[in-house]
Amino acid sequence: MAQAISPPEAPGAPESAPGTKEPARYSSDAAGLGKARAGVFMAPALLLIAAFLVFPALWVLYLGLTNYRLTGIAAAEPQFVGLDNLLDAVANPTFWSSTWLTTQFVLGSAVIGQVGLGFTIAWLLRDRRGPLKRVVEGLVILAWILPSAIVSFLWVALLDRDGGTLNALLGIPGTAWLLDHPMLSIIVFNTWRGTAFSMMLYGAALGNVPPSHLESARLAGASGWQQLRDVVFPHIRGHILTNLLLISLWTFNDFTPFLLTAGGPDGKSEVLAVHVYKVALQGGELGYGAAVSTIILLINLVVAVFYLRLLRSKK
């Protein structure tokens, strides 16, 4: 869960904090840090970011243009092959099926699953206090904070053909969910696992919808659905968009499906994250894997820029 916890709301805007209005004699540099020392303070962080974040992102662009392999001659001396890897990817049916499966994964579990369910729970519990709310929220959050290796195994057990709890509950032993319906299993699993973030976000957002607006809509005879459509949704549109972009990005990059099905059977649940792992680190085709990673990186970039635009416009 490399993205799990969203940053907390900082108390008070910077401008309103006491002491921010700078007396003329001191600069904003209250501690007398100076630019040189500020550089020293930032150096360790910037060094690590440069080495393990910026460099890999740039390096993957280059690796994608080589025939670099895990073993053999191309491991020691990779050749520059230009766009060959990209052409290979475009000609590779697995690449396209992975892209399509990833699309299903994002639309199904993030957009429909997590947003839909997260909003539903937040809406159902909006006016509630007390144990019911705490229990429901606690369970949803538990699914989110437990380690992925554990919860994915719990679902392997739940969905097992013989003796899995789901088949026992439904009274239909014999369905091997992970083998017969791998994508459906993974989509439901990821909805279960990731809904907490959306639920908390919408819980907070609904708390900001002025009750008076809802009240007057109700007095005007608006039905529940009309209240949602005409009062609530317009009010939290920004939150919905933020949420959609963030969880789509996370789901798009999620490697957890690997823990449930290892991409199988026959690549039927091989989303792009798993595809890169399988071709590059299991299959040894590092150059090809890097080329697919480049595509992933570019898609991430587009989504992230939209997200940051949105944040800026809200400021």
Interaction residues for another protein, span 206-235 (CB under 8 A) = 208
Regarding 312 and contact with another protein (CB under 8 A), the answer is yes
Within a 10 A sphere around the Cβ of 254, how many other Cβ atoms?
Answer: 27
Regarding 306 and contact with another protein (CB under 8 A), the answer is no
> Minimum CB separation from another protein for residue 255, in Å?
5
Q: Per residue in 211-239, is it b (16+ CB within 10 Å) or e — as a string?
A: eeebeebeeeebeeeebeeebbeebbeeb
Residue 68, phi then psi, degrees to nearest 5? -55, 130
The contact pattern for another protein, residues 235-264, with x = CB under 8 A and - = no contact, is: ---xx--xx--x--x---xxxx--x-----
Regarding 87 and contact with another protein (CB under 8 A), the answer is no
Return d(Cα 237, Cα 15) in angstroms, integer.
26
* Tokens describing residue 249: 């990005």
Q: Are 8 and 200 in contact (CB under 8 A)?
A: no
Q: Is the peptide bond before 7 cis (omega within 30 degrees of 0)?
A: no
The contact pattern for another protein, residues 44-83, with x = CB under 8 A and - = no contact, is: xxx-xx-xxxxxxx-xx--x----x---------------
> Minimum CB separation from another protein for residue 105, in Å?
12
Q: Are 290 and 68 in contact (CB under 8 A)?
A: yes
Return the residues of window 144-173 that contact another protein according to CB under 8 A.
145-151, 153-158, 160, 162-166, 168-169
DSSP 114-177: IHHHHHHHHHHTTT--SHHHHHHHHHHHHHHHS-HHHHHHHHHHHT-TTT-HHHHHHT-TT--H
Return the residues of window 188-207 that contact another protein according to CB under 8 A.
192, 200-201, 204-205
Return d(Cα 214, Cα 216) in angstroms, integer.
6
Regarding 313 and contact with another protein (CB under 8 A), the answer is no
Q: Which residues pair with 66 in a beta bridge?
A: 80
The contact pattern for another protein, residues 120-149, with x = CB under 8 A and - = no contact, is: xx--x-------x--xx--xxxxx-xxxxx
Return the residues of window 6-45 that contact another protein according to CB under 8 A.
6-14, 17-20, 22-23, 26-35, 37-39, 41-42, 44-45
How many residues lie near another protein (CB under 8 A)?
Answer: 121
User: Per CB under 8 A, which region of 80-88, 107-115, 177-185, 296-304 contacts another protein?
Assistant: 296-304
